[in-house]
Amino acid sequence: MEFVPTSAHHVIERTGVQIRVKHVLIKRWPDVLAKTDQPHPKLPGTIHETAEQVREAGGEALAVRMDIRDDDQVEAAVAAAVAQFGRIDVLVNNASAISLTPVAATPMKRVDLMFDVNVRGTYTLTRAAIEAMSHGDGAHVVNLAPPISLRPVWFARHTAYTISKYGMSLCVLGMSEELKPHRIAVNGLWPKTVIDTEALRMIPGMDRRATRKPEIVADALHAVVTRDPAECTGNFFIDEDVIIEEGNVDPDSYATEPGVPPMPDLFLDGPGSIYPED
C-alpha cells in the first residue's frame, strides 16, 4: 500500500541529507526544511543553495539555521516549519558525527559530539516534531541508523561511534511503539554498501570506485515514506533490500564505477559482511 497524505505535504530534514534525497521526496512532499547555514571549505552546499535547488525542482523550501544540540533552536525550527507549512509529514534524522577511532584515541570532546548529534539530536528533534506530525493522516520518521548487532567486532574498533549509532537505532525501537497511536511510523534505514558522499571523499585512501551513488538511499527512503505508516513501522530497512523489493531497479545500476564491487558498510552481518562470522 502506498501512503499519500491528502493535502499539503511537508518534509523536515536534518543536516547531512543529500540533495538527491530532497529531490526524490519532492515527488510527494514538495515543501522542505533544510539546514547548513555557512559554506564549508571542503564540503559543498548551504541551506540557501539547497533551498534554491528544491524550488527549481518544483517544491517550496524553508531554510532555517539550527544547531541540533541546542534545544531552543530545535523548537524554533519546528515552529518555523509549522508556521509556514502547517504540519510535518516526514522527518529524516540523518545528521551524524563520526570518528572511527578506538577508545584510547577518542577524546571526550569527540565522544560528546557524537552522542549529542547522533543520539540526543535524533531524540530531541523527533520529540519536538511529534505534535506537528500528529495533525495529518499519518507521518514518517526515518533514522539513518543500522540494525543492532551485538557482535563485539562492531564495537572493538570504534566503541563510541557504535554506541552513538545504536542509540539512534534504539530510538526506532522505542518511538515506533510509542507513536503508533498517533499514526507516526518510525523506521531505520541503512546502506548495504559504502555511499559516495562528499564527506567520504575527504577520507585519505578511500577508493570511491567501490561505492554506490547516494540515489540508492534516496530511492529507498522514498519507498519507505510512501508506505502506510500504520503498517510500516519499527523496521530496520537496508537500502538494497528495499530497492529489490520494489522491483523497479537493479541495485547494481547505482554503482559509482560500473563493474567494481561495492564495499560493504558497517554493522551488517551475514554474507558479504566486512567482518565475516566464523
- Rounded distance between C-alpha atoms, residue 265 and residue 93, angstroms: 18
Residue numbers of the chain with a pLDDT score lower than 70: 1-45, 199, 202-203
The model's pLDDT over 142-176, given as tens digits with 9 standing for 90+, comes to 999 999 999 999 999 999 999 999 999 999 999 99
Backbone angles phi, psi at 106, to 5 degrees: -115, 100
pLDDT over 90 for what percent of the chain?
62
Residue 117 gets which letter from DSSP? I
Model's pTM, two decimal places? Answer: 0.87
The CATH number, out of the four listed (3.40.50.720, 3.30.830.10, 3.40.605.10, 2.30.30.40), of the domain defined by the range 10-254: 3.40.50.720
| Residue 153 amino acid letter | V
Tell me how many degrees the CA angle 246-29-66 measures, rounded to the nearest 5.
115
Among candidate residues 278, 213, 276, the one with its CA nearest the CA of residue 249? 213
Q: What is the pLDDT of residue 22?
A: 44
For all residues of the chain together, what is the average pLDDT? 84
Helices in 121-213 by DSSP H: which ranges?
Answer: 121-133, 153-156, 159-178
Q: 160, 111 in Cβ contact below 8 A?
A: yes
Active site residues: 161
Q: DSSP readout, 178-195?
A: HTGGGTEEEEEEE-SB-B
